[in-house]
Copies of this chain bind each other. A is one copy, B any other.
């Protein structure tokens, strides 16, 4: 997961005799796209076609579907440009430049002196100022990113696209064949892809940088690259931090997800339309549950944890060897351990004195915070509300995506009931929220009475400013006013007792790591663009070898093996067309590339920079990759370039799209 400013040139030269040029790296970077709702993609044509995963597109597919047209279930293909469907609230980013601003941040922090809270505030103010200055000067979206645990700060500048239209998606059944059981596993047989087209000023964008399609794909053991946006990893966390995750954060989070899934499945069972409305959230939660369960298993694996402890021990012993280094950095671990004790003490209150789960309630709560924060000077606001962040924030707050109030109601009711159970009826948050009424009644009234399902009501609230919030009788706003003080209080305690201390201590550990181990490394993932190299390669699995790739034969085997029952059933269209398919066509393949959630939709390219595959998953052994990467068994799972073209032509009658992808005319 190397940053593009520090590509692993020496390793690539030594291991593979390949040294990518600056032009090669720039081209790949500028062809890479971030899906701001949590994924990656790439330009694949000079006329703005963007490839990503079906499951990255899923949220948008749902938002443009309704009771009459179910693009999630049935798939979608725009035969002409006029048929392309605009996404409701999708923002794509392309990383156009980056700049190291560490010195400026560090200087501001140093001036603030030794008080952790003042240092944290200074850091926040400086970052907000850098972002705003950069955005004003360049017109590009500008995000300051903390890398190497905060021992480096960079401003990343993005070209931003918000007119993104759907061109093609297969049926979810085909994209997600095998469903939750097969998710995060391999061998796999999924056509998890979707195609958008990016527009600017009403015209398809002329994408100078795009990836040429290579129908052959990559050979076994071939060197390949992934360019994408891994969300987050915790490989550099201290043992004290991992212990909190293992003993508190993971078990609580897993319980929350299981509970919410139960509620959603019951909602979906009410009818076909409810099922459709809940599909995307269920997918997301099942995906999160499986990922977190794998990560949690990793944390509870005594061998893995012993390795983490031994690594930290070895690092600290190296530091001790130098009086200078020890003096500067040795106390950082104890500082974090102390902060973690605070985090444990306040975790349940911070987590359950806030209501998460309902998207609409989340919008209401954020609106109220936004209006309050906007009154303050930029540098004093809560994170997420700085000037440079407001445009994408409003884009999502004012999204015209459909709102399903009964669905929002069951989600919010479950979150509130859970808080009651976790905190007890006498907890001040519960008292303030319920005002003596049953949780179900509070939530029913809120969802029945609110006008905020309509984006224009949200805009009106923002326009009315803080007086408008205070005067509002919209029950969701009333609820937000009741809960917001608790959220702010938790944030403030967290800043003072945990984040302030840990941010400073982590920066020191980051610098200590550079001092001891040098700069030949990459930082933890931060949902910023990264380059990963690896090879196509099977792996030892359950007593035998997992193959480097799978074929359409395997898809038919697995469907037939399970009697063609969900989630192993094939769409009717596929069954009708299967006689026309070349069953030996490679379908999915695995590589040793190091990825994590957020990389979904990333292109896989060969030495020529040609697209040979599309990342869509990691195997079960990759889940522990949040904490430690193992080349032995950690694998990226990808859709093969040939399978996409074969399916477009022979299953979906989408020859023109296949032609355009392959470089013919659209």
Interface pair B543/A184, CB less than 8 Å apart: yes
Interface pair A542/B543, CB less than 8 Å apart: no
A185 cross-chain contacts in B, Cβ below 8 A:
542-544
Interface pair A550/B544, CB less than 8 Å apart: no
Interface pair B561/A557, CB less than 8 Å apart: no
Interface pair A561/B549, CB less than 8 Å apart: yes
A541 cross-chain contacts in B, Cβ below 8 A:
542
Interface pair A557/B563, CB less than 8 Å apart: no
Q: Is A48 an interface residue (CB 8 A)?
A: no
A262 CB, nearest partner CB in chain B, Å? 21
Interface pair A551/B547, CB less than 8 Å apart: no
Select which of B181, B545, B553 is within 8 A of A553 by beta carbon. Answer: B553
Interface pair A551/B542, CB less than 8 Å apart: no
The residue in chain B whose Cβ has the minimal distance to the Cβ of A302 is: B302
Q: For this complex, into which size category does the number of interface residues on chain A fall?
A: 20 to 34
> Once bound together, how far apart are the Cα atoms of A561 and B587, in whole Å?
10
A584 cross-chain contacts in B, Cβ below 8 A:
556, 560
> Once bound together, how far apart are the Cα atoms of A160 and B563, in whole Å?
43
A554 cross-chain contacts in B, Cβ below 8 A:
553-554, 557-558, 561
A643 CB, nearest partner CB in chain B, Å? 13
Select which of B294, B548, B561, B619 is within 8 A of A561 by beta carbon. Answer: B548
Interface pair A547/B558, CB less than 8 Å apart: yes
A562 cross-chain contacts in B, Cβ below 8 A:
545, 547-548
> Once bound together, how far apart are the Cα atoms of A239 and B178, in whole Å?
43
Q: Is A234 an interface residue (CB 8 A)?
A: no
Which of A178, A181, A220, A553 has the most CB atoms of chain B within a 10 A radius of its CB? A553
A111 CB, nearest partner CB in chain B, Å? 51
Copies of this protein in the assembly total 2
| In the complex, chain A residues 552-583 whose Cβ is within 8 Å of any chain B Cβ | 553-554, 556-558, 560-563, 568, 583
Secondary structure at the A interface, as helix, strand, loop or mixed, is mixed
Q: Is A410 an interface residue (CB 8 A)?
A: no
The residue in chain B whose Cβ has the minimal distance to the Cβ of A180 is: B544
Q: Is A182 an interface residue (CB 8 A)?
A: yes
Q: Is A620 an interface residue (CB 8 A)?
A: yes
Where the two chains meet, the residues of A that have a C-beta atom closer than 8 Å to any C-beta of B are 178, 181-182, 184-185, 187, 220, 290, 294, 541-545, 547-551, 553-554, 556-558, 560-563, 568, 583-584, 619-620
> Once bound together, how far apart are the Cα atoms of A421 and B182, in whole Å?
50
> Once bound together, how far apart are the Cα atoms of A557 and B542, in whole Å?
18
A542 cross-chain contacts in B, Cβ below 8 A:
185, 541-542, 620
Q: A187-B561, A549-B561, A554-B557 are in contact. List 7 more A-B contacts (CB 8 A).
A: A181-B545, A543-B620, A547-B568, A551-B557, A554-B554, A554-B558, A560-B584
Q: Which 8 A-B pairs have the closest CB atoms?
A: A543-B620, A554-B557, A547-B561, A553-B557, A185-B543, A185-B544, A553-B556, A181-B544
A553 cross-chain contacts in B, Cβ below 8 A:
553-554, 556-557, 560, 583
A222 CB, nearest partner CB in chain B, Å? 13
A547 cross-chain contacts in B, Cβ below 8 A:
558, 561-562, 568
A579 CB, nearest partner CB in chain B, Å? 12
Interface pair A561/B556, CB less than 8 Å apart: no
Interface pair A544/B178, CB less than 8 Å apart: yes
> Once bound together, how far apart are the Cα atoms of A558 and B558, in whole Å?
12
Q: Given A553-B553, A563-B220, decide whether A294 and B543 contact each other with a Cβ distance below 8 A.
A: yes
The residue in chain B whose Cβ has the minimal distance to the Cβ of A545 is: B181
